[in-house]
Copies of this chain bind each other. A is one copy, B any other.
Amino acid sequence: MTKRADKQPTLADVARRAGTSTAVVSYVINNGPRPVAAATRERVLAAAAELDYRPNRIARALRSRTTGVVGLVLADASNPYFAALARHVEQALERRDRLTLIGNAGYSADRQRDLVDRFLAAQVDGLVIVSAEGGDDVTDRARAAGVPAVYVHHGPSDGRARVVAADNHDAVREAVAHLRGHGHRRIAFLTGPHDAGPVAARRAAWEAAVAGDFGAVLLRCDYSRAAAAHLTRRLAAADALPNALITATDEQAIGVLSGAGARGVAVPGRIAVISLDGTPESAHTAPALTVTRQPLEAMAEQAVELLSGRDPGVPGARAPLVIRRSCGCDGEQD
């Protein structure tokens, strides 16, 4: 009964114990805006340690108008590509000693707006938006609240919002060149149903690369594995599969592999495949996927830098070609 254990200790408790004022304690804790005598500093530190004092971030946030929390709005954490991106953003923030509020908008513009509003009410210091396509521009709402916002992977194209994305053009060109190196002349492309955002950029890059080639087919299906598998089975049944295919996303590529496997279609023998995401998972498919790997970590880092106001000035990072087996090479398998 010598100590009241019912409450977390506060600055005032530490001050009392150290025989000083709260101001001095605050100066010590934060290496505050004013210096403190060495002896006093020792007493304060000792008192804080004895009480196991931990500053209340809420109170600090109220007074200093900065929470150390960043909101991360995700289209869909079920998608490994977004999940990996989210993890890198979280780690980049962690490195800067900030916490991450996360929310899944699930491809709904309403829910996205809703989440942003709730994050702003929670006084986040910044907003990272990882959205697929669509979703209106939340930059205005953020700006009104004086909170910096950055889009990653895809953002509104009107130029008013800051967007971090990889250089898709080069990546696609490299993929096409590689397939040509395997002797392919008719290189098909599998895109999504709506074809907006980065996927549209990838398709456009493919169109530019194969311009003039006879028989370069554009295929479309949903972004799910199931849809891609279904499409592949259907094409195989009709003997209409191309000999070389670039898929816009890993999910689709995995679906293609699954569909091919079900119909006994050999990859890369009958159909060579290159995917454009390069999630970790792509290394563990059968056969292992050759991909152009999106530089997720660099993108996350760049986004977080932008939030801090520092403009890294770097253009979109390059997406390197990772050669494995699905293209016809005898690359790494593991």
Interchain CB contact under 8 A, A122 and B57? yes
Judged by DSSP, the binding face of A is helix
Interchain CB contact under 8 A, B103 and A333? no
Kindly provide the distance from the CB of A219 to the nearest chain B CB, expressed in whole angstroms.
18
Name which residue of chain B comes closest to A120, CB basis. B54
B-facing residues in A249-295 (Cβ within 8 Å): 254-255, 257-258, 261-262, 280-281, 283-288
Q: Per-residue CB proximity of A122-149 to B under 8 Å, as 1/0?
A: 1100000000000000000000011000
Is there a chain B Cβ closer than 8 Å to A83's Cβ? yes
Is there a chain B Cβ closer than 8 Å to A229's Cβ? yes
State A288–B333 Cα separation when bound (angstroms).
20
Interchain CB contact under 8 A, B284 and A225? yes
CB contact between A121 and one of B55, B117, B118, B226 (< 8 Å): that residue:
B55
Is there a chain B Cβ closer than 8 Å to A69's Cβ? yes
State A104–B101 Cα separation when bound (angstroms).
12
Name which residue of chain B comes closest to A114, CB basis. B94
Interchain CB contact under 8 A, B284 and A229? yes
CB-CB < 8 A to A284: which residues of B? 225-226, 229, 254-255, 258
Kindly provide the distance from the CB of A64 to the nearest chain B CB, expressed in whole angstroms.
10
Interchain CB contact under 8 A, B78 and A67? no
Is there a chain B Cβ closer than 8 Å to A86's Cβ? yes
Is there a chain B Cβ closer than 8 Å to A184's Cβ? no
CB-CB < 8 A to A112: which residues of B? none
Interchain CB contact under 8 A, A83 and B94? no
CB contact between A103 and one of B58, B99, B286 (< 8 Å): that residue:
B99
Indicate how many identical chains form the complex: 2
Name which residue of chain B comes closest to A325, CB basis. B262
A56-B123, A99-B101, A100-B103 known; A78-B258 Cβ under 8 A? no
Is there a chain B Cβ closer than 8 Å to A21's Cβ? no
Q: Per-residue CB proximity of A205-244 to B under 8 Å, as 1/0?
A: 0000000000000000000011001100000000000000
Name which residue of chain B comes closest to A279, CB basis. B78
B-facing residues in A77-121 (Cβ within 8 Å): 77-78, 80, 83-84, 86-87, 90-91, 94, 99-104, 117-121
Is there a chain B Cβ closer than 8 Å to A31's Cβ? no
Kindly provide the distance from the CB of A189 to the nearest chain B CB, expressed in whole angstroms.
21
CB-CB < 8 A to A99: which residues of B? 101, 103, 118-119, 122
CB-CB < 8 A to A59: which residues of B? 62
CB contact between A84 and one of B78, B102, B103 (< 8 Å): that residue:
B78
Kindly provide the distance from the CB of A92 to the nearest chain B CB, expressed in whole angstroms.
12
The chain A residues found within 8 Å of chain B, CB to CB, are 8, 54-59, 61-62, 67, 69, 72, 77-78, 80, 83-84, 86-87, 90-91, 94, 99-104, 117-123, 145-146, 225-226, 229-230, 254-255, 257-258, 261-262, 280-281, 283-288, 333-334
